[in-house]
């Protein structure tokens, strides 16, 4: 009697969260998977079951592969660079320099701004001839370029913005982790004769590994999720040079209203994220927690 | 001179003076205890010697070399931290050889020294464990191993036993002392536990509010405390300090005259008698028994003499019960006189002086 009543209370307590999760996470995922197996309804033609046709179409779609390639480049550059920058800033800000509060604030500011605002600010920075970046490049005689308009530089320009924005956010996590490291450990390392670099490599970095894992998960998700700047600045132009996977999904789904294909693309994106998360939690996680 | 020599060491933080003009020297294989109540500057003194803190003024020399301005890594010493400061992500073996490996000692030598130290400390079975998988005593041994493998002539220990339970503490006391003798190194050991200092140290440096109150062998501190502070700090229970009322007959406790040392000038004094030197007898100072604490081997009886309290320590069981009236006596040689104002020891012949 007692046990079943407990189960009832437990179930009731879980219900609100379960309803929210189901409505906004699981049900949409299942819905998307189902939708991806149907054709897109157009006019009087209803959606019909087409099996894996949408996925077949994806394999033959050059824009999809372009978006995948872009996203790979984007992830492989923004993740390590923003994390390295975050670590360096955190180490700098954690040392007992004068005016460190102001520096911390400055590093963190980009994070508080919404990405849409950031993108608009950087549109001005990147403006040819009078933008801040172009002015700077003029010093070296490379002025007059529309960095966002050329296929070779457009993705790079977006990558810079992302790093600029994400590094400050990641820095906060690194800073918190650094302050968790007992100063006695660092004193002990120093007393044993370790130089700053040895202490960094053999004591500080290993102790930061759990944080690094956490940040890397966030960074991976961010690399596939942040597309506000693409929408504001380039809309995938020029020649799909800045089309990222999520932007392509958005474009397909809400630009061309090809919802069936967009659903299939979404399933692929979910699959990629799930695989990465599985690797990070299942494999890396076991290696970085010492306690 | 191959030990540590500390001269006029001062450490200030703003208006706080944690270490105030401390000077002492240690021999090359001496075991020195820095003893004192909480906040008296023991840790700060040790950290100044280690180079973890910058001295405001004064000098520290190790083995005849002035190291005052050198970083801790170049002072050729090792240290065991109170919290052990073991690296949580390294195994026991990696922790112990950390210093050797960052200093670039060849691998073969590292292994050989590791084996030696591990045998010495009985850690052989634990080499692949992480610190979190060890007991407090084992962690303590690893920390000791990391300090000793460097084979430095000086080893500093900051309350290394304070995290251990009473039994383990007694064991480790012995172990550390034996190691120090076997390795013939100088050890400076911080503690606030006088039993620990008395039982382990060749010499005790008793500190009070940033200054050295008394420095000497455990016997000297026990037999000739330079002040009421030192007298009250050493011994379990500590020395009884009684106010003396001057009278025609000299100094009086509980109506009974006490013989002062020869030539003590008139003034206000206090009398110190250790609890273990007091006996119950047929005559002497009358007292009323307040309470009795029985410990098996001995008994501590609290007595009221006039309006002053006094502890008596007798072997075995006490020959009296609470509320009894008893007579207490002690040999003249067990009496210590202190100046009431300054708290300093008075020996009579030369007036107040510290034993040299
Ligand atoms: N970083 C610091 N800044 C300011 N004051 C300090 C600092 N470190 C220590 N002190 C002060 O210096 C005094 C001596 O401190 P210390 O740590 O040496 O005491 P201790 O004898 O080791 O005491 P305990 O037995 O409690 O460890 C204390 O009054 C303490 O408040
Ligand atoms: Mg201390």
Contact check, Cβ <8 Å, A207/B88: yes
Q: How many distinct structural domains can be found in chain B?
A: 2
The mean pLDDT value of chain A amounts to 87
Examine residue A29 and state whether it is found in any structural domain, yes or no.
no
Q: Work out the pLDDT band at B255, boundaries 50, 70, 90.
A: low
Minimal-distance CA residue of chain A relative to B82: A184
Map tokens 């002072």 to a residue. Answer: B75
Examine residue B44 and state whether it is found in any structural domain, yes or no.
yes
Q: Work out the pLDDT band at B351, boundaries 50, 70, 90.
A: very low
Q: Are residues B114 and B192 part of one domain?
A: yes
Question: Is B191 a pocket residue for ligand 1 (Cβ < 6 Å)?
Answer: no
pLDDT of residue B170: 85
Examine residue B218 and state whether it is found in any structural domain, yes or no.
yes
Q: Pick the residue with more confidence: A48 or A19?
A: A19
Percentage of residues of chain B with pLDDT beyond 70: 93
Question: Is B3 a pocket residue for ligand 1 (Cβ < 6 Å)?
Answer: no
Examine residue B12 and state whether it is found in any structural domain, yes or no.
yes
Q: Are residues B262 and B130 part of one domain?
A: no
Contact check, Cβ <8 Å, B71/A188: no
The answer to whether A23 contacts chain B (CB < 8 Å) is no
Asked if pLDDT for residue B355 goes beyond 80, the answer is no
**What CATH number is associated with residue B164?**
3.40.50.300
DSSP state of B301: E
Lowest mean pLDDT among A4-18, A243-257, B257-271, B331-345: B257-271
**What CATH number is associated with residue A153?**
1.10.3720.10
pLDDT digits (tens, 9 = 90+) for B112-157: 999 998 988 888 999 999 999 998 889 988 999 999 898 899 999 9
pLDDT of residue B250: 64
Query: Residue B132: which of A185, A190, A291 has the nearest Cβ?
Result: A291
Q: Calculate how far, in angstroms, residue B160's C-alpha sits from the geometric centre of ligand 2.
A: 10
H/E run at residue B252 = strand B250-253
pLDDT of residue A106: 83
Examine residue B172 and state whether it is found in any structural domain, yes or no.
yes
Q: Pick the residue with more confidence: B305 or A83?
A: A83
pLDDT of residue A289: 64
Map tokens 């994106």 to a residue. Answer: A269
Minimal-distance CA residue of chain A relative to B91: A290
Query: What are the chain B neighbours of A207 within 8 Å (beta carbons)?
Result: 88-89
Examine residue A78 and state whether it is found in any structural domain, yes or no.
yes
Residues A98 and A80: their CA atoms lie apart, in Å, by 29
DSSP three-state, residue B31:
strand
Asked if pLDDT for residue A245 goes beyond 70, the answer is yes
Q: Are residues B306 and B192 part of one domain?
A: no
Measuring CA to CA, which residue among A282, A186, A170, A172 is closest to residue A223?
A170
The answer to whether A157 contacts chain B (CB < 8 Å) is no
Which residue range is the domain that position B289 belongs to?
230-339
Examine residue A131 and state whether it is found in any structural domain, yes or no.
yes
Q: Are residues B294 and B207 part of one domain?
A: no
Q: How many distinct structural domains can be found in chain A?
A: 1
Examine residue B350 and state whether it is found in any structural domain, yes or no.
no
B124 touches B118 (CB < 8 A): yes
Q: Are residues B286 and B331 part of one domain?
A: yes
The closest ligand to the CA of B11 turns out to be 1
Those residues whose C-beta lies under 8 Å from the C-beta of residue B78, and which sit 6 or more positions away, are A191, A192, B99, B146, B147, B148, B150, B152, B154, B155, B156
pLDDT of residue B169: 84
Query: Residue A193: which of B50, B83, B103 has the nearest Cβ?
Result: B103
Nearest-neighbour CA in chain A from B6: distance (Å): 19
Q: Give one DSSP letter per residue of B121-161, joined into a string.
A: HT-GGGTT--GGGS-HHHHHHHHHHHHHTT--SEEEEESTT
Query: What are the chain B neighbours of A203 within 8 Å (beta carbons)?
Result: 87
Query: Residue B52: which of A185, A187, A203 has the nearest Cβ?
Result: A187
Q: Work out the pLDDT band at B233, boundaries 50, 70, 90.
A: very high
Q: Work out the pLDDT band at B354, boundaries 50, 70, 90.
A: very low
Asked if pLDDT for residue B320 goes beyond 90, the answer is no
Asked if pLDDT for residue A97 goes beyond 80, the answer is no
pLDDT digits (tens, 9 = 90+) for B178-229: 989 988 999 999 999 999 999 999 999 999 999 999 999 999 999 999 999 9
Examine residue A53 and state whether it is found in any structural domain, yes or no.
no
Residues B43 and B49: their CA atoms lie apart, in Å, by 10
| Ligand 1 atom with least separation from CA of B36 | 21
Examine residue A49 and state whether it is found in any structural domain, yes or no.
no
Q: Are residues B193 and B119 part of one domain?
A: yes
Residues A195 and B102: their CA atoms lie apart, in Å, by 8
Among candidate residues B190, B224, B258, the one where a domain is terminated: B224
Examine residue B348 and state whether it is found in any structural domain, yes or no.
no
Q: Among the ranges A119-133, A174-188, B242-256, which has the highest mean pLDDT value?
A: A174-188
Examine residue B27 and state whether it is found in any structural domain, yes or no.
yes
pLDDT digits (tens, 9 = 90+) for A53-89: 888 888 898 999 999 999 999 999 999 999 999 999 9
Question: Is B38 a pocket residue for ligand 1 (Cβ < 6 Å)?
Answer: yes
Asked if pLDDT for residue A115 goes beyond 90, the answer is no
Among candidate residues B224, B247, B280, the one where a domain is terminated: B224
Asked if pLDDT for residue B34 goes beyond 90, the answer is yes
Range A97-107 average pLDDT:
79
Map tokens 């994400």 to a residue. Answer: A166
Q: Are residues B212 and B104 part of one domain?
A: yes
Query: HSE (CB half, 13 Å, CA atoms) of B241?
Result: 20
Q: Are residues B257 and B132 part of one domain?
A: no
Q: Are residues B217 and B139 part of one domain?
A: yes
Which residue range is the domain that position A94 belongs to?
63-287
Q: Give the residue from B87, B104, B110, B151 with the most A CB atoms within 10 Å of its CB, the best one to mutate.
A: B87
**Distance set, CA A152 to CA A70, A239, B340 (Å):** 12, 10, 90
Q: Are residues B238 and B214 part of one domain?
A: no
Q: Are residues B250 and B129 part of one domain?
A: no
Query: What are the chain A neighbours of B71 within 8 Å (beta carbons)?
Result: 190
Asked if pLDDT for residue A98 goes beyond 80, the answer is no
Beta bridge partners, B24, equal B6
Minimal-distance CA residue of chain A relative to B100: A192
Q: Calculate how far, in angstroms, residue A183's C-alpha sits from the geometric centre of ligand 2.
A: 15
pLDDT digits (tens, 9 = 90+) for B338-350: 988 888 998 754 4
Q: Calculate how far, in angstroms, residue B234's C-alpha sits from the geometric centre of ligand 2.
A: 19
Asked if pLDDT for residue A147 goes beyond 90, the answer is no
Q: Calculate how far, in angstroms, residue B219's C-alpha sits from the geometric centre of ligand 2.
A: 25
Q: Pick the residue with more confidence: A288 or A153?
A: A153
Q: Are residues B39 and B173 part of one domain?
A: yes
Examine residue A40 and state whether it is found in any structural domain, yes or no.
no
Q: How many helices (H) and strands (E) does chain A have?
A: 15, 0
Lowest mean pLDDT among A219-233, B43-57, B112-126, B253-267: B253-267
Query: What are the chain A neighbours of B81 within 8 Å (beta carbons)?
Result: 184, 187-188
Contact check, Cβ <8 Å, A190/B103: no
Among candidate residues B224, B239, B259, the one where a domain is terminated: B224
Contact check, Cβ <8 Å, B102/A188: no
């Amino acid at each position: 009697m007692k046990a079943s009543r407990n189960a009832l209370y437990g179930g009731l307590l879980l219900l609100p969260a379960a309803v929210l999760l189901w409505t906004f996470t699981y049900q949409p995922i299942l819905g998307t998977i189902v939708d991806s197996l149907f054709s897109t309804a157009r006019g009087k033609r209803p959606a019909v079951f087409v099996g894996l046709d949408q996925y077949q179409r994806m394999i033959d779609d050059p824009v999809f592969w372009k978006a995948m390639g872009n996203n790979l480049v984007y992830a492989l550059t923004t993740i390590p660079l923003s994390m390295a920058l975050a670590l360096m800033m955190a180490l700098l800000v954690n040392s007992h320099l004068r005016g460190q509060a102001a520096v911390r604030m400055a590093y963190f500011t980009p994070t508080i701004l919404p990405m849409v605002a950031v993108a608009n600010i950087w549109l001005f920075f990147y403006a040819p001839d009078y933008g801040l970046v172009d002015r700077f490049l003029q010093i070296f005689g490379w002025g007059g370029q529309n960095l966002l308009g050329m296929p070779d530089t457009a993705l790079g320009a977006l990558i810079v913005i992302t790093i600029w924005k994400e590094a400050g956010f990641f820095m906060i996590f690194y800073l918190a982790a650094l302050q968790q490291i007992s100063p006695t450990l660092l004193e002990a390392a120093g007393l044993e004769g370790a130089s700053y670099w040895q202490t960094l490599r053999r004591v500080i970095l290993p102790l930061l590994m759990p944080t690094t894992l956490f940040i890397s998960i966030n960074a991976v998700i961010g690399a596939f999720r942040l597309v506000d700047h693409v929408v504001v600045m380039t809309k995938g132009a020029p020649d799909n040079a800045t089309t990222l996977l999520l932007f392509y999904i958005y474009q397909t789904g809400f630009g061309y209203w090809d919802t069936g294909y967009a659903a299939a693309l979404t399933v692929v994106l979910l699959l990629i994220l799930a695989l990465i998360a599985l690797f990070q939690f299942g494999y890396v996680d076991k290696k970085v927690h010492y306690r | 001179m191959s030990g540590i020599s500390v001269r006029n060491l001062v450490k200030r933080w703003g208006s706080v003076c944690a270490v105030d003009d401390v000077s002492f020297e240690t021999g090359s294989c001496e075991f020195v205890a820095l003893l004192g109540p909480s906040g008296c500057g023991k840790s700060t003194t040790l950290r100044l010697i280690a180079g973890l803190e910058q001295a405001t003024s004064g000098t520290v020399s190790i083995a005849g070399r002035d190291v005052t301005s050198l970083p801790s890594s170049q002072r050729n010493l090792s240290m065991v931290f109170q919290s052990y400061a073991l690296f949580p992500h390294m195994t026991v073996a990696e922790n112990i050889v950390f210093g050797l490996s960052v200093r670039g000692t060849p691998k073969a030598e590292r292994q050989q020294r590791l084996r030696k130290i591990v045998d010495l400390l009985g850690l052989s079975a634990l080499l692949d464990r992480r610190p979190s998988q060890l007991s407090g005593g084992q962690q303590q041994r690893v920390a000791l191993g990391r300090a000793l493998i460097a084979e430095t002539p000086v080893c500093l220990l900051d309350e290394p036993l304070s995290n251990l339970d009473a039994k383990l503490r007694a064991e480790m006391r012995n172990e550390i002392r034996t190691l120090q003798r076997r390795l013939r190194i100088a050890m400076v050991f911080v503690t606030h536990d006088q039993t620990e200092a008395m039982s382990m140290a060749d010499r005790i440096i008793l500190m009070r509010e940033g200054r050295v109150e008394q420095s000497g062998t455990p016997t000297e501190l026990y037999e000739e405390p330079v002040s009421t502070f030192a007298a009250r700090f050493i011994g379990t229970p500590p020395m009884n300090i009684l106010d003396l009322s001057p009278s025609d007959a000299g100094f009086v406790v509980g109506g009974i005259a006490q013989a002062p040392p020869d030539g003590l000038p008139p003034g206000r004094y206090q009398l110190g008698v250790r609890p273990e030197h007091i006996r119950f007898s047929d005559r002497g100072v009358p007292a009323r028994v307040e309470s009795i604490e029985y410990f098996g081997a001995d008994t501590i009886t609290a007595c009221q003499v006039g309006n002053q309290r006094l502890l008596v320590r007798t072997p075995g069981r006490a020959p009296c019960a609470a509320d009894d009236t008893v007579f207490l006596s002690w040999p003249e040689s067990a009496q210590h006189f202190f100046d009431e104002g300054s708290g300093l020891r008075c020996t009579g012949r030369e007036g107040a002086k510290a034993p040299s």
